[in-house]
C-alpha cells in the first residue's frame, strides 16, 4: 500500500507500507478520499513542530469511507462517509477516567504523534468517526476546522443582532466568522493583514473590518461598528435557535459531534495573542460584542480540532 511520508524535515518520500492488520473490537478500516493541509502539517514539514517525530505519515483533516468494522461497532458500517476526529485518547488514564480526556496522559494525534491519513487506508477507533449522508468528502475534511468556529460561537452564544468581534482572519477565524453569520450576529473582523480583511469584505460579505495598527485607534473603529458605540467587558448571551440552510445544519451537527472544548478560551480581556483568551464586549451593561478566542484544547471522546490552512490557501476550501 502506498503512502506519503516525511522522512525528515523538508524531505518527502513515497513509501510502500503493509495493508491494515486484522481489526480489533471497536476499530474500523477507513479508505482516505480527501486530506486537508493544516498549519501543523506545514510546521512539521519545516521541522518547526515540536510534537512531530520522524519519519511520519501526516494527515489529520480527513474525509473517509468505511471499508470494514470490527466487533462491537454499531455507529458506522461499510460504505459510510465520515469525518475523522483525529485526537486519540486512551480512555484508561486518570485524566480520561475523570472526564478530562483532553489531558490524556497517552494522547496521540493522527499525523503528528502517530501516522495519519496520507495513505490509502488505515485503522481508526470507530468512536472517532462521525458519519454524514449529505456532505462530500471535501466538506467532511473541513469538519474538524469548522468545529472550532462552531464551538467558539456556541460558547459565546451571541444573539441575533449582537456584535461579534473575531480577532484574526486566518482559517480558524474564517470558521468563526461563518458561524457568527449563521447566528445572525453583526460580525466584525480584526486583523493585522489588510489582504485578509479585503478577502472578508469581498468573498464573505463582511461589512465591518478593523486593521490592527497598535496605536489605539481600533477602539474608535469598534465603536463605529457596534449598535450604540459602547464597549464594556462582561456577561454572556442566551441560547438561541434559528433556521439554517440544510448543509450548514449538517456541518454544525458534525462539528458539535466532534465536541471541541475551549479550555484556553476563558479570559476576561482582549487576548494578548489571537486565541489566548476570549472576551465579551457589552454595550451599557448588555451583551453586545463577543471576542471569540480560537486556541482550543481538545476533549478526547469529543475531540479537539486544529486549524485548516486551507480556507484561504487552497481552492478546495471555501
More confident residue, 24 or 308: 24
Contact (Cβ atoms closer than 8 angstroms) between residue 184 and residue 160: yes
In sequence order, which ranges of 16-101 are alpha helices (DSSP H)?
A: 39-46, 94-97
Contact present, 104 and 300 (Cβ < 8 Å): yes
Residue 162, Cβ density class (10 Å: 0-12 exposed, 13-18 middle, ≥19 buried): buried
Give the span between the Cα atoms of 204 and 200, in whole angstroms: 5
Residue 116 maps to a domain: yes
Contact predicate 193/186, CB 8 Å = no
Question: How large is the average pLDDT for residues 268-272?
Answer: 29
Mean pLDDT of 154-164: 89
pLDDT at 250 > cutoff 80: no
The alpha carbon of residue 317 and the mean position of all alpha carbons in its chain are separated, in whole angstroms, by 13
**Over 90: is that where the pLDDT of 240 sits?**
no
For residue 302, is it within any domain?
no
Name the phi and psi angles at 30, rounded to 5. -120, 145
Residues 218 and 276 in one domain: yes
Tell me what pLDDT residue 97 has: 95
| Domain interval for residue 106 | 2-133
CATH of the domain at 258: 3.40.50
pLDDT tens-digit series, residues 9-51: 999 999 999 999 999 999 999 999 999 998 899 999 999 999 8
The share of the chain scoring above pLDDT 70, in percent, equals: 71
Same domain, 201 and 83: no
User: Mean pLDDT across the stretch 161-172?
Assistant: 90
Residue 186 lies in a domain: yes
Work out how many domains the chain is built from and give that number.
Answer: 2
Tell me: do 111 and 189 sit in the same domain: no
Are residue 266 and residue 165 in the same domain, yes or no? yes
Residue 19 belongs to some domain of the structure:
yes
The per-residue pLDDT for 101 is 85
Amino acid at each position: 500500500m502506498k503512502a506519503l511520508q516525511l522522512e525528515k524535515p523538508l524531505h518527502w518520500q513515497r513509501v510502500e507500507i503493509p495493508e491494515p492488520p486484522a481489526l480489533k473490537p471497536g476499530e474500523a478500516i477507513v479508505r482516505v478520499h480527501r486530506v486537508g493541509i493544516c498549519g501543523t502539517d506545514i510546521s512539521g514539514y519545516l521541522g518547526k513542530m515540536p510534537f512531530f517525530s520522524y519519519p511520519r505519515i501526516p494527515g489529520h483533516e480527513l474525509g473517509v469511507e468505511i471499508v470494514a468494522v470490527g466487533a462491537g461497532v454499531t455507529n458506522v458500517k461499510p460504505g459510510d462517509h465520515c469525518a475523522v476526529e483525529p485526537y486519540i485518547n486512551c480512555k484508561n488514564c486518570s485524566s480520561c477516567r475523570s472526564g478530562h480526556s483532553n489531558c490524556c496522559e497517552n494522547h496521540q494525534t493522527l499525523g503528528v504523534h502517530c501516522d495519519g491519513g496520507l495513505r490509502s487506508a488505515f485503522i481508526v477507533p470507530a468512536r472517532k468517526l462521525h458519519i454524514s449522508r449529505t456532505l462530500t468528502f471535501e466538506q467532511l475534511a473541513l469538519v474538524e476546522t469548522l468545529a472550532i468556529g462552531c464551538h467558539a460561537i456556541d460558547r459565546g452564544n451571541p444573539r441575533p443582532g449582537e456584535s461579534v468581534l473575531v480577532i484574526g482572519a486566518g482559517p480558524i477565524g474564517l470558521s468563526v466568522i461563518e458561524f457568527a453569520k449563521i447566528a445572525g450576529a453583526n460580525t466584525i473582523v480584526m486583523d493585522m493583514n489588510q489582504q485578509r480583511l479585503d478577502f472578508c469584505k469581498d468573498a464573505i460579505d463582511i461589512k465591518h473590518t478593523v486593521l490592527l495598527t497598535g496605536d489605539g485607534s481600533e477602539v474608535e473603529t469598534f465603536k463605529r461598528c457596534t449598535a450604540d458605540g459602547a464597549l464594556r467587558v462582561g456577561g454572556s448571551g442566551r441560547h438561541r435557535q434559528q433556521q439554517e440552510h440544510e448543509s450548514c445544519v449538517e456541518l454544525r451537527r458534525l462539528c458539535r459531534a466532534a465536541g471541541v472544548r475551549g479550555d484556553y478560551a476563558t479570559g476576561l480581556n482582549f487576548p494578548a495573542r489571537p486565541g489566548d483568551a476570549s472576551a465579551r464586549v457589552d454595550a451599557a451593561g448588555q451583551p453586545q460584542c463577543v471576542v471569540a478566542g480560537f486556541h482550543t484544547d481538545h476533549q478526547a471522546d469529543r475531540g479537539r480540532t486544529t486549524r485548516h490552512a486551507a480556507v484561504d490557501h487552497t481552492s478546495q476550501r471555501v
